[in-house]
Amino acid sequence: MTALVVAASLLVGVSLGILGGGGSILTVPILVYLAGQGTKEAIATSLFVVGVTSLAALIPHARARRVRWRTGLLFGAFSMAGAYGGGRVAEYVPGTALLVAFALMMLATAVAMLRKPRDGRKKARLAHGDLPLKHIAVEGLVVGAVTGLVGSGGGFLVVPALAILGGLPMGIAVGTSLLVIAMKSFAGLAGHLSGVEIDWRLALTVTAAAVVGSLVGGRVAVRIPQDALRTAFGWFVVVMGVFVLAQQLSTAVWTHPATWAVLGTALTCVFGGRMWRTWRLSAAPPPRDAGNTP
């Protein structure tokens, strides 16, 4: 069982290193179902694992200059404030409703990530700069509030916020998100330590394996094209979103025709839009000066 936990922890690190997300949503099930921990202990331990692993994964991204330090620090500070408020509100919302809403939000995020970005000029302009403070404040507070509500989803929310709403290139969004995730993880861990006792031997074992995986993932991420990285992240979020929904919704919901109609419509929008754009590009006439080259 220990070998299986270590192997799964390596995947957690690889996910963080390449995608800048997937840490908490993968670590908690590993600790609960493979290591046999209770839910509260697993959540607290995962915060330590993800926090340390994110810092380790941040190193190769920082060396490759794929981290916007000002954006990351400010985004992390605002998201920590939003997470506190979201955590207070979560006391009054049923847990099932929170997880279903979280899964639906993940699927909506995935659709946005799988769509081809239109504004290339904005992305190019931000490739070497930081986001405006007002964007950082609004996005940080919103992402933090949602994270506080559901207790998970740091990277799944931070990366799209930086890449889609902020316009940062995907590689830079991934690197910057690791700084934000580390800040939020350690802040959340501080809140859990007073009421939960952590098995530090298990925590350090899982962390060591995850750190190794994160360093491998960080090196691999350098060689992955931006569009491929964005697509991989989108489909990863789709899989995790469907998994969360499957755990929360009854069999009757999944077998209802309306459910499959909605899923079919969503997939049609994603693939239909991509095929339409591809066809338009292939059918477009060549530039006027294409035949005048010597």
Distance of CA 253 to the CA centre of its chain: 27
Per-residue tokens: 34: 């493979």
Report in angstroms the alpha-carbon separations of 291 from 94, 149, 284, 285, 288. Answer: 65, 58, 15, 12, 7
- Residue 183 is which amino acid? M
152-197 pLDDT, tens digit per residue, is 656 677 877 787 777 788 788 888 888 888 888 887 787 777 777 8
Asked whether the beta carbons of 54 and 23 are under 8 A apart, the reply is yes
pLDDT at 209: 92
Cα gap 185→47, rounded to integer Å: 5
pLDDT, mean of residues 126-140: 71
Dihedral of the alpha carbons of 13, 19, 20, 22, in degrees to the nearest 10: -60
Asked whether the beta carbons of 188 and 24 are under 8 A apart, the reply is no
pLDDT band for position 204 (50/70/90)?
Answer: very high
Q: Global pTM?
A: 0.68
Residue, of 171 and 222, whose pLDDT is higher = 171
pLDDT, mean of residues 269-277: 57
CB-based burial of residue 117 (10 Å sphere; 0-12 exposed, 13-18 middle, 19+ buried)? middle
